[in-house]
Amino acid sequence: MSTPQLNDRSFGRITGLMHEAVGLSFTRSKKALVSARLTNRVQQLGLTGFEDYADLLEGADDGGEFQMAVDLLTTNETYFFREPAHFALLQAELQRTRPQKLAVWSAASSFGDEAYSTAMLLADLQAQGTLGADWSILGTDISERVLQSAVQGIYPAERLREVSPQRLKRYCLRGEAESEGFVQVRESLRERVRFGQLNLCAPIDNLGPFDVIFLRNVLIYFDPPTKSAVVDRVLSQLRPGGLLFLGTAEGRVPCSTPLTVLAPSAYRKGNER
């Protein structure tokens, strides 16, 4: 079977649907990326080309293929304690304020690396008496597939390369035999994190309020107006004075919610009048 070629018409149909349905934005410069991410899928389905794939995505009964396309187009490399300066800032903030309750939202949680990294940090602070026992973490993502993986909490050991040996011992189990090379987050920590599917481009009602929100490495998929709308929508769930972390490569996103810069891509929500 010859390799299907993504022409401009098919690219426009597929990316237009992605933007309309879930806010994903792919400029012409991303055409090669879209082709690379979807070509194998078109071949697996036995379709003649991308026009047929666009027909499938637009159909009333796509058999779950639209969700599959979203998964393929948005899955990022991720690992534990990515962008460590954010975790250091969060630790310093909690050591300063010593809260008894804390609610954290990992708003683009992908496979759960970020949520479980945060859980390790909070569990350590609780053990030190810096943080009360009433803390919780919510991880959300648009991809059902990555969320199912996150609940299991099983990762290639390489993904935990930034986790200290002490934390690995406290919070993880190393695989043996056929599971060698993999690590599972201990159940005691997995119980502190819950996951759910959520579209950041749709209305968000009564999800918070949260004290800390991570919204990292997802805004790259949105055009400027959608980015601003998503940030304001997410910030509506953050308490006044709460912390927001964006991806350091994404820069500050214009939004109508007052923010104070604490560090690169780290902000405090302004107090409401």
Cis geometry, peptide bond prior to residue 209 (ω within 30 degrees of 0): yes
Catalytic residue among 13, 37, 159, 239: 37
**37 labelled catalytic:** yes
Catalytic residue among 141, 192, 211, 216: 141
- With a CB cutoff of 8 Å and minimum separation 6, the contacts of 128 are none
- With a CB cutoff of 8 Å and minimum separation 6, the contacts of 226 are 23, 25, 201
**141 labelled catalytic:** yes
Nearest CA-CA partner of 262 in 88, 104, 111, 102: 88
Q: How far apart are CA 40 and CA 141, in angstroms?
A: 24
On the 0-12 / 13-18 / 19+ scale of CB atoms within 10 A, 221 is buried
Q: List residues with catalytic annotation.
A: 37, 141
